[in-house]
Amino acid sequence: MSWFILAWQRATDFSGRSRRKEYWYFTLFNCIVFLFLLLFAIPFSADEKPSLLPLGLMGAYSLIVMVPGLAVTIRRLHDIGKSGWWYFIAFVPLVGGFVLFFFTLLDSEPYANQWGLDPKAAERAPMPTAPIYP
C-alpha cells in the first residue's frame, strides 16, 4: 500500500524515476478498484434501463487517476533509461501497447541516468572488487 501512496504523493512529478514496485502496485490497486466498481454496476444493470451511477463513478475514477497514472508510467520509463515520450508508442496500433507493457517489465538501470539516481541503490549489494595483482 505504501507504493500506491508514494505514486499519489508524486502524482504530478513527471521527472525522476519509479521502480517496478511503485508502478505495478499502483496499477494493481487501480485494477482492483475498477473491478469493484464493475461488480457494483452489475445489480444496477439488472433493470431494462441501466443506471448511470456506476458508469459515472467509473468515469470519475478514471479521470482522477489519469494524471498520476501518466506520471508513474513516465517515471517508470525514465527508470529503464527511456524518455517519457516513449509513452506515445502505446498509440501505435497492434504492437504499441505490447511494447509499452514490455518496457514496464524491465528492471531498473543499475546506475544513475539523466533522470536521477538508481532508486534501488540502497538495496543492491556492493559489488566486490577483484584484488589487483602487481
Question: What tens digit of pLDDT does each residue of 12-31 get?
Answer: 889 889 989 999 999 999 99
Task: Give me the amino acid identity at 85.
Answer: W
| pLDDT tens sequence across 48-67 | 666 777 778 888 999 999 99
pLDDT of 78: 94
pLDDT in tens, 65-75: 999 999 999 99
pTM of the entire structure?
A: 0.81
**Residues 94-118: tens digit of each pLDDT:** 999 999 999 999 998 888 888 888 8
Neighbours of 127 (CB within 10 A): 7
* Phi, psi (degrees; rounded to nearest 5) at 116: 140, -175
Cα–Cα distance list, 90 to 19, 95, 102, 128 (Å): 20, 8, 11, 40
